[in-house]
């Protein structure tokens, strides 16, 4: 024990600014990894691996066990190679989040006007309200920047206008297209009865509403796999929820749902005015007052 304390004191005596920056960078990397793995099944596995490594390190430090130390040093490279395989889904999801565009959406000013956006979101909110009143389950995926072509191919291609009546007909119980998700892109119902990925996180397991079924798990899973917005209507309670970025907001009414969807898809402010600095014209972003009025 005294030798261990002396080694710790020796380490602190050798600390300088470069060492502190080095430790801070390593800590930041581990912090980022923990953030990416938060609310996933891998969190428990990572906690167990870290606890095992700490126990083995303490055991080999306090007790002189040559054979055991040799076994640990030999198996450690294999463990480091196994970590990417074990955490492959979480690493893939984290890299997708990093490489994903921050705020670009499919509803850009060139493709659609604010009037068409409001009309589409109003139709979706109206349909969800009627489905909620009738206790008809529904799952609607609104595409943003990430392509959903692989999920469109699993369903029935429609390419129809977004109307409340269409959603009511699709999600009517026991109809051919009611089981699955409807994908909406560029103000069109692209496909219905699409198969979406289920959530691999532990959010639903820790929530008080553990009775949430496959629709809610598919909603969370879809929001984890892409940057789209997912609207789900519970068949059991009629509750309306929105999932985005691996998080779910529940208990929405028609007005809150419509306002939330419009806020997600509202076009970015247009560049209007500019200033001249040393002969260089620099444009300044301003909100379009005509649209706000």
Token pair for residue 87? 């955490």
Question: Domain 114-265, what fold?
Answer: YojJ-like (1 (3.40.1700)
Q: How far is CA 23 from the centre of its chain?
A: 30
Q: Between these two residues, 58 and 152, which has the higher pLDDT value? A: 152
Averaged pLDDT, 169-195? 92
Comparing 256 with 113, which gets the higher pLDDT? 256
Whether 240 and 257 have beta carbons less than 8 Å apart is answered as yes
Contacts of 147 (CB under 8 A, 6+ apart): none
Q: pTM here?
A: 0.61
Cα gap 222→229, rounded to integer Å: 9
pLDDT tens, position by position, 111-167 = 447 788 889 999 999 999 999 999 999 999 999 888 888 899 999 999 999 999 999
Residue 113: how many other CB atoms lie within 10 Å:
12
Phi, psi of 87, deg, nearest 5: -100, 25
Domain ranges of the chain: 2-99, 114-265
């Amino acid at each position: 024990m005294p030798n261990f304390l002396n080694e710790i004191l020796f380490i602190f005596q050798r600390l300088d600014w470069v060492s502190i920056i080095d430790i801070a960078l390593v800590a930041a990397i581990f912090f980022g990894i923990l953030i990416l793995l938060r609310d996933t099944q891998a969190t428990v596995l990572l906690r167990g691996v870290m606890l095992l490594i700490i126990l083995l390190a303490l055991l080999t430090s306090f007790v002189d066990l040559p054979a055991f130390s040799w076994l640990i040093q030999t198996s450690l490279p294999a463990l480091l190679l196994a970590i990417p395989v074990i955490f492959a889904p979480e690493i893939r999801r984290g890299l997708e989040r990093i490489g994903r565009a921050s705020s670009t959406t499919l509803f850009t000013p060139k493709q659609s006007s604010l009037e068409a956006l409001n009309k589409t979101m109003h139709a979706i909110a109206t349909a969800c309200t009627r489905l909620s009143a009738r206790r008809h389950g529904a799952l609607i995926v609104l595409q943003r920047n990430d392509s959903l072509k692989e999920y469109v191919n699993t369903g029935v291609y429609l390419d129809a206008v977004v109307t409340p009546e269409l959603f009511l007909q699709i999600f009517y119980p026991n109809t051919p297209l009611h089981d699955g998700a409807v994908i909406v892109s560029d103000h069109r119902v692209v496909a219905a009865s699409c198969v979406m990925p289920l959530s691999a996180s532990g959010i639903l397991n820790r929530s008080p509403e553990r009775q949430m079924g496959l629709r809610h798990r598919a909603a969370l899973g879809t929001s984890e796999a892409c940057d789209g917005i997912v609207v789900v209507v519970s068949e059991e309670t009629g509750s309306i929820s929105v999932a985005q970025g691996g998080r779910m907001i529940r208990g929405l009414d028609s007005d809150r749902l419509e306002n939330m969807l419009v806020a997600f898809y509202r076009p970015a402010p247009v560049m209007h005015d500019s200033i001249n600095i040393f002969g260089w014209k620099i444009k300044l972003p301003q909100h379009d007052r005509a649209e706000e009025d």
